[in-house]
Structure 1
Amino acid sequence: MNDWTMTRVQDRLELAAGVFRQMPDVKPQGYFNAWPDYLHSFADQVGQEPKMRQPRPSPRMISQADEAMLWLHWLEAEDAKLLWLRANGKPWKPICWQFGLSRTAATRRWHYGLAVIVWRLNGRKPPLRRSMDFVIKRARTGPRVR
C-alpha cells in the first residue's frame, strides 16, 4: 500500500494540470486550414529567437493525469473545482471571489479536499461525522497505531 501524503496528492494534481495544458487542442472533425504555408526568408528570421516547445507528455504522464482526475470524483463539486483551480495555479484572490469565501475558509476547504483524497488513496474512508480539522490532521499524521 502506498503512503500518500497531501504534498504528493497536490504534486500529482499539478502534474495533471500541466499535462492537460500541453495536450494539443481538440478540433472538430474535418477541420483543415486553407491558407498556404508562409515560407520565411533568412532576412525575416535575423535576430529572432526560435520558439521552443515543451515536449509532449509521455503516455505514463497522461495515465497519471487521468488517474488524478478520477480522484476529484470523491469530492463535492465545489471542492473539486477549487482543487483543480489551485492545481492550475490560479491565485487565491480570484478563487475567493468566485466561491464567496474568505482566504482562510478557501484554504481550509482546499486542505480538506486534499485530505479526503489522501484518506481514500490510503485505503480508508474519511469519517462523516467529524470536523474538517480532524480529517486534515489525520491525513497529515496518518492513522494511529495501537
Structure 2
Amino acid sequence: MTDWTPDLVEERLAEAAFVLKRLPEPRRQGYFSTWPEMVYSFADKVGQEPRPMRVLPSPLAISRMEETLTWTACLEPIDGKIVWMKAHGERWKEICWAVGLQRSAAHQHWQFGISVIALTLNRRRFNRNMSKRRVIELAAGA
C-alpha cells in the first residue's frame, strides 16, 4: 500500500484494537493446579453464564496489529490516547471525560492524529508548526 488515507488508517487502527481484544489473556508461568478439571452436571449448568468463545486471530492479523501499534509514537500523548480510544469503539462522551476536552476539540484532535499518521505513512513532509485544520486538509487531499 503506498497511498494511505485517514479512512484507511482508521480502519487499520480499529482492526488492531479488535485483534488486541481477541488475544488470549497472559498467564503467569510456573503456576499450575494439580486439581482435576471439574465436570458439571446439567443441574449445575442451569444458572451459569456460558463461557465466551474466543477465536484466536490469524498470524497475519497479529503482524498487522504489531505494525499498527507503532504508528501512534509520532503523536502527542493526548492525540494518541484519543486515537486509540476511538479505535477501541469508545463513545465520544467517555473520550471527552478521559481527556478533559469538549467533543468538537476531541474530534479535531482525533482527525489530526489519523491525518498525521496517514501523512507519515505516505512519507509526505509537512511542517509541524502548521495548524491542525491545515494538516487535516493536507491529508484529505492526499
TM-score between the two structures when normalised by the length of structure 2: 0.88
1:105 alignment counterpart? 105
Q: Distance in 2 between matches of 1:72 and 1:12?
A: 12
Task: Report percent identity of matched pairs.
Answer: 43
1:18-29 matches, within 5 Å, as 18-29=18-29
Matched letter for residue 112 of structure 2: Y
1:37 alignment counterpart? 37
Matched letter for residue 69 of structure 2: M
Q: Distance in 1 between matches of 2:91 and 2:35?
A: 39
Larger displacement relative to structure 2 (126-135 or 67-76): 126-135
Q: Distance in 2 between matches of 1:111 and 1:71?
A: 14
1:10-34 C-alpha deviation (Å, 9 max, x unpaired): 1111111111111111122212235
- 8 Å CA contact 1:5, 1:140 repeated in 2: yes
1:59-91 C-alpha deviation (Å, 9 max, x unpaired): 110010011110010111111111111111111
1:66 counterpart = 2:69: no
Q: Distance in 2 between matches of 1:50 and 1:99?
A: 36
1:10 alignment counterpart? 10
2:121 alignment counterpart? 121
Q: Distance in 1 between matches of 2:67 and 2:49?
A: 37
Q: Distance in 1 between matches of 2:62 and 2:31?
A: 25
1:93 alignment counterpart? 93
1:96-145 C-alpha deviation (Å, 9 max, x unpaired): 12211110000000000000000011111332121111100111111xxx
TM-score between the two structures when normalised by the length of structure 1: 0.86
Q: Distance in 2 between matches of 1:125 and 1:50?
A: 52
Where does the alignment leave 5 or more consecutive residues of structure 2 unmatched? none
Where does the alignment leave 5 or more consecutive residues of structure 1 unmatched? none
